[in-house]
Amino acid sequence: MLVKAGRFDTFETAVRYQFYHALALLAIGVLWTVRPELRALGTTGWLWAGGIVVFCGSLYTLCFTGVTKLGAVAPIGGLLFLAGWVSLILAVREL
């Protein structure tokens, strides 16, 4: 599969967000094994996983298929990412 012409910057954005949040998910997993009573960490993980699927998935689909209507779904994934960061902040405040 090849990225459609003019969509490489969009593809790069999707890869970057997926990479950073995948690393953050690993960190959350390690922290959760140390502090399993922090239930907000689980919420954070689920929100970030949903953000990866929705945000990055819609951008990948846009890049590979050229269907521009899927670009309207990306902000929902962005909101999931932001909600995950808010959830992490609330979890850290419980430390």
CA distance 64 to 49: 21
One digit per residue, the tens of pLDDT, for the chain of length 95 reads 688 778 889 999 999 999 999 999 999 999 999 998 888 999 999 999 999 999 999 999 988 888 888 889 999 999 999 999 999 999 888 77
Report d(CA 49, CA 22) in Å as an integer: 8
Task: Identify residue 11 by its one-letter amino acid code.
Answer: F
Is the CB of residue 59 less than 8 Å from the CB of residue 10?
A: yes
Both tokens of 42, joined, read 């689980």
- Domain positions in the chain are 8-93
Give the residue carrying structure tokens 């690393």. Answer: 23
